[in-house]
Chain A
Amino acid sequence: MNATMTVFKRELRSYFATPVAYVFIVIFLLLSGAFTFYLGGFYERGQADLQPFFSFHPWLYLFLVPAVSMRMWAEERKSGTIELLLTLPLTMREAVLGKFLAAWTFIGIALALTFPIWIIVNYLGSPDNGVIVAGYLGSMLMAGAFLAIGSCISAATRNQVVAFILTVVVCFLLLLAGYPLVLDAFSAVLPQGVVDAVAGLSFLTHFSSIGKGVIDLRDLLYFLLMIGFWLYASVVVIDLKKAD
């Protein structure tokens, strides 16, 4: 656990040692604001909630989270520090978890900095703050799932651009798994049961049900299992691809 914390601290600090952190945070705040007010019609709706704010998060994360996760392992591989890291007395699991938690915390910091919008909505009306907290929770969980996917894909390549693009594609497919765009492709060849299973994997379905303020154990479990699965896959992939 100590080693995980050490890796975590180093990673988190490294985000802020480079412009990555600041660029990410500024872009994230600008875009989430712009989407909320212009595309989401925050004022025009006349409702005191953050629905228009949260509903764009999946699409923001689709591009911004892979930009954070792409360097996670690809950079270690490229600069050779992966050899240093993995010959230190820590387990692969600790290394993967430490890095993941650092990236997740970093996105958490960016998300926390959106607090002015929460203040605005409370100033303008009296929203259900429970729903807003649930929205933040759902947003965090989804970012975590995206990151875990990104961690695994980043582990598979030394090229950050490849890692970015593949992560976007995989996240996009999982995001829309419950929608015709993805389902039609499956329903042509697969039995209905499998198609339903694929539909059940959809990020958006689980995200929006948490966002409505209904914190169902199944939705939480879905995201946590998703994160666990992809992190485990990261460990396996790193182990397999160490030699390249």
Chain B
Amino acid sequence: MIETRNLSKRYGDLIAVNDISFKVEAGQVLGFLGPNGAGKSTTMKMLAGFLTPTSGSASVAGFDVEQQPLEAKRAIGYLPEGAPSYGEMTVREFLEFIADVRGLSGDLRYRRLDDVIERLHLDGVIEQPIETLSKGFKRRVGLAQAILHDPKVLVLDEPTDGLDPNQKHEVRELINTMAHDKTIIVSTHILEEVHAVCTRAIIIADGKVLADATPAELEARSRYHHAVSLTAPNVAAAREALARVADVASIEVDPQDNRITAFPRPGKHIFDAVSEVLKTQNVAVHEIALEGGRLDEVFRTITQGTRGAAAGASA
């Protein structure tokens, strides 16, 4: 379990994290979203016991990170931003070092080492110095280090950054397999990741929590939520047909691929009505889809709402 209460971090006049409170239970995977510099990493550093909060408190697995730092650090597995590791060590030496610091010994030590080496597919590079590895492997070494002691709480700062799509998929699978009995926080700015791994998402910007909801709830805030999009050979005819549906609030055509999107009036479902109209009007379509909502759009709306016009004008 992870809990923060009015957690804040100030650097002089700069407020990096501003009064953040949340609670994550075992079995939850919390996605930490926000633009660069929003305070995601600073919050995670405070949870991991690297930075000291200016005010407020945080606890990990029931241990206060300031009052009982060693107990908290034992309970947590932490992947720092950029997955730093000692480049001159081989993967094996590095993981054995972590096992020693974590106090793993005897049979357990071998079992845990074997387990993470297998899970992260490190057997092929196990005797190589870490500095000679590709970015993807370095990241996996960082993850291996974080889960080596089978921690109850995992704090992963951008675990998939710099990985190729296959590797990203593997890391997400890994997180999912560990999710049922652990408390996990993952920071990311890849929004598809939220769908893939998170049961809950917190959006922060300028150090404040702006949204705390499930991915589905966030999507429901999108104006694309329950919109219908389609492509048709005759764009004009299709557009005209859509305009006949009573609950359609507006229609947009993407100038690039001529995809037509019909937005419903708030709270209305238009998919059935749209397909009915297309049928009765005999308008041919290539394909038609019900939109679930676009996280990236919700993300932009939420995070830019606070700084608003200035950012928009300069862009």
Q: Which residues of A come within 8 Å of B, CB atoms? A: 2-3, 6-7, 9-10, 13-14, 17-18, 79-81, 83-84, 86-91, 242-243
* B49 pairs with A84, CB closer than 8 A: no
Q: How far is the CB of B115 from chain A (nearest CB, A)?
A: 19
* Binary contact readout B64-108 vs A (1 if CB under 8 angstroms, 0 otherwise): 000000100110101011101111110001000110111100000
* A81 pairs with B101, CB closer than 8 A: no
CB-CB under 8 A from A14, the residues of chain B are: 86, 88-89
How many residue pairs bridge A and B at CB < 8 Å?
A: 68
* B101 pairs with A87, CB closer than 8 A: no
CA distance A86 to B87 in the complex (A): 17
B145 within 8 A of A: yes
Q: How far is the CB of A90 from chain B (nearest CB, A)?
A: 6
Question: Given the interface contacts A13-B93, A83-B45, A84-B85, does A91 sit within 8 Å of B70 by beta carbon?
Answer: yes
* A83 pairs with B84, CB closer than 8 A: yes
* B73 pairs with A3, CB closer than 8 A: no
Q: How far is the CB of A238 from chain B (nearest CB, A)?
A: 11
Q: Which residues of B come within 8 Å of A, CB atoms? A: 11, 45, 48-51, 70, 73-74, 76, 78, 80-82, 84-89, 93, 97-98, 100-103, 129, 145
* B101 pairs with A89, CB closer than 8 A: yes
* B70 pairs with A81, CB closer than 8 A: no
* B48 pairs with A3, CB closer than 8 A: no
* A81 pairs with B86, CB closer than 8 A: yes
CB-CB under 8 A from A84, the residues of chain B are: 78, 80, 84-85, 145
CB-CB under 8 A from A13, the residues of chain B are: 89, 93
CB-CB under 8 A from B88, the residues of chain A are: 14, 17-18
CB-CB under 8 A from B93, the residues of chain A are: 13
Can you sample 9 A-B contacts with CB below 8 Å?
A2-B100, A10-B86, A84-B85, A84-B145, A87-B50, A89-B70, A89-B101, A89-B102, A90-B101
